[in-house]
Every structure is written in structure tokens, then in C-alpha cells.
Homo-oligomer: A and B are copies of this chain.
């Protein structure tokens, strides 16, 4: 408060706080405005944050929040060009005009807080380069894990660790669907339809169901955790459409639950320059694993590194309130950081750009090297439908053996009509070897089909 008082004395009675330009007043924007307007019992620094402009598409739409008429505007360009605005809060989502507005704001010397995982995952390189050139920060806690603090811990609290693996359940919709399939023994399509009816899945569920949203998020987490840029197209992505209730039931018998995991892993943890494996796919998770008990719309991110060992962050991965908590905390962190810089200078000039806090700013500009999936070492689960001939299991075992695939378990589990069902779990194996063995197995006369193929954590 001392700083504020000093400024009030210096500048007369005019309130000098941090002025926000908020772009978008949808679910997250509305939640953020509600939080900013309801300051009692929250951090006193909120008193110094002013909602200066809010950019919307229509001025006539009824809103859940009350704002002075001169605050609302449809001219979003004007907000990012307004010299009075200190921080742009981008919560319109999507790629354009979000990208252009963010870049413009940064070029104009404004800090940016964004919840836009899609834009950051695709345009992170130009966004962070522009931010560094302008000497400003881009904050994105809300982009991954909704309200869960995970971006800041990765950037700050875990910053001295060599990160080995970041493994996340980062999409609430798919986790909700898989949880219900597990507990109810239901089909994917039935649960999806019900989730859409209840508002847990979008009318067009592609981004969630096909793993694209999770891919955006693991690209961001990998970039922060491993200190290198990520090409989104390098993230191998498989969704949950092909996960069947049959496999969920078999997995349970074998001691696993099936989760859509987003995984970023240094292939050789002891070598900080070794390539990364980046992937999103349904995964058999051992029931005792910390991520196995994360159910429903909850998210969790498990970070493994040296010397920390395992830490996990758990919480609501979406929702207006939780996401607004992340957005607003980013705003508050910026306001707090600006206070320490501002006492000596109102605006940073060019010579001071190097003084950006190196844990808050993006410090890398090289791309991480990504290993091809064939080099991934993992366990596999596969389900085969076979003609019930004697010796089928032997033939399977021989084919796997030819490619160095050793088996952890092989079980004939039952029958589907005339066909015998065989489930196999392998030990760790290079994915390329496993695929070669599988190609040979597919050609065996005894093999009718291979309905399921999943990776095992």
C-alpha cells in the first residue's frame, strides 16, 4: 500500500492502478470479471486492478456482469492499441483474431494474459519472440489444467530440476467419458451422447475426443518442462473413439484403468540433450499409479524429475470459476511484478529489456528434438480374435519372439461367437519392433482380427 500511497501523493487524487483490456466476455471472460468485481476477502492487491476496457462482439447481448457502458466496446483493435492499457487479457479463444490481437498488444508493450492453449501451442514461437523483443510477459496458467497451478510451478517452483517426464490427464471431457464407461460398463457412443446432453461434451466433440486439445496442452507443458520449442505436429495423437468397454473390462481384470494420457518424456533421462517423446493416446494405467484414481472431469499433471522425484498437481481442469482463478492470478502476478519495476521507471526502455524476470519470460528459442514413435520404448496391450486352433498362442509367441518382443502376460479370455479372444501385455519394447511383429501376426491364418491395440504405462 505504501507504493500506492506514494503514487497517489505524486499524481494527485487520480487512482493509478493496473489497467486491463479484456478481450472476450464468454464463459471465462465473465468469470474473470466477476472475480475482479468481488474483491472482499481476496488479496488486497486486487484493489489496484482496473477493468478499463472489455471487447465484445455485440453490445446488445444480455450479460451476467454489469460494466459501465464506456468500458464495453466492439473495437478490439482499439483496446490493444490504447496506450492506457497495461495488460491485455485474451479470453476470446480460437486462432484468429486472437493471434493477431496478442501480437499487436505485445508489440505495443503490453503484457498478455491468455487462456488460449490452441493459439499458444501453434503460434508460441512468434508470440514469445515478440514478447521478449518488447520486454513484456505472456502469462498462460489458464491454458493447461484450468485452475490447477501447473504452469507457474513448472516455470518457478520446479525450475532447478532436470525434468524427465510430464504425464497428464489434461482433458476433462475424455476423462469424464472414460470414467463413466469404466463405472457403468457402457459403450463409448452412449456415454458421449449423454455427455453432450449434459454439457460435458461439445456438439462437435472432435477436439476433445480425438486428443487434439490434449496435444495442444502437452506441447505447452513440454515446452516449459524441457525448455525448448515444440512443433505441434510432432505430437503423436490418438483419441478415445476406439476404446471399447471390452478393453476397459479386460484392463480392469489385469489391474489397469484406461486413461487418455498426454505424455512428454525425455527418452534418455540421464542425457539432457536426448530427444523427447511426445504423445497423446489412451493408455492402460496401473491401478496403484497416482493418475489411475483421477476421475470424472478432474485433471492431474504428474511431473517427474531429478532431484524432485514425483510431484502431482490435481484439480478442476475446466469451468468458469477455476479458469478465472488462473487468469486472475496471472493478472495479479503481473501487477505484483510491475510494482517492483515501476517505482524506478514507468515504462521499461530498450536497454532494460534484459531485465525481464528470466523465470517468467520465455528463455528458449530452439526447437526440441522429437524421437519418432518407432523409437518409443513402451509396453503394449493387444487383443486378438483368433480361430480356435490348437497352437495359436504358440504362433503368437513365436512371432513376437522373432522381433524381440517379450510378453508379460498372455491370456485366452473368452469367446466372441466362434472366435477365441486372446489378450497380450508385453514388456517394454521399441514400438517399431512391436509393429513389425504385429504385421507378421496379422498375416497368420489363425488370426481373424486385432480389434485393440493400446499402450501401457
Contact = CB atoms under 8 A, between A and B. Distances in A.
A152 B157 contact: yes
A344 B35 CA distance: 34
Nearest to A49: B160
A149 B345 contact: no
A245 to B, nearest CB: 22
B325 A316 contact: no
A316 B307 CA distance: 10
A354 B157 contact: no
A336 B355 contact: no
Contacts of A337: 340, 357
Nearest to A150: B157
B355 A3 contact: yes
Interface stretch (A77-85, A194-202, A358-366): A358-366
B308 A333 contact: no
B315 A314 contact: no
Given A156-B329, A358-B45, A321 B307 contact: yes
Contacts of A35: 160, 307
Give the oligomeric copy count: 2
The contact size tier of chain A is 35 or more
Contact of A311 (B162, B314, B345): B314
Contact of A153 (B152, B162, B343): B152
A353 interface: yes
A446 to B, nearest CB: 42
A32 to B, nearest CB: 10
A154 to B, nearest CB: 9
A324 interface: yes
Interface in A128-154: 141, 147-149, 152-153
A13 interface: no
A43 to B, nearest CB: 5
A162 B42 contact: yes
A340 B352 CA distance: 9
Contacts of A147: 307-309, 311
A1 to B, nearest CB: 8
A316 B290 CA distance: 13
B358 A339 contact: yes
A352 B360 contact: no
Contact of A160 (B6, B272, B319, B325): B325
Nearest to A141: B157
Nearest to A354: B2
B3 A354 contact: yes
Interface string A34-69: 010000111111100000000000000000000000
Nearest to A160: B328
Nearest to A359: B336
A360 B333 CA distance: 10
A294 B324 CA distance: 29
Given A152-B153, A311-B315, A160 B43 contact: yes
20 contacts: A5-B354, A35-B160, A41-B273, A42-B159, A42-B162, A43-B159, A149-B156, A149-B158, A156-B329, A158-B329, A160-B325, A160-B329, A308-B321, A310-B315, A311-B314, A312-B312, A332-B359, A339-B355, A343-B354, A344-B345
Given A42-B160, A156-B333, A312-B314, 10 more contacts: A43-B159, A45-B359, A149-B156, A149-B311, A290-B314, A308-B322, A311-B316, A314-B314, A339-B357, A340-B356
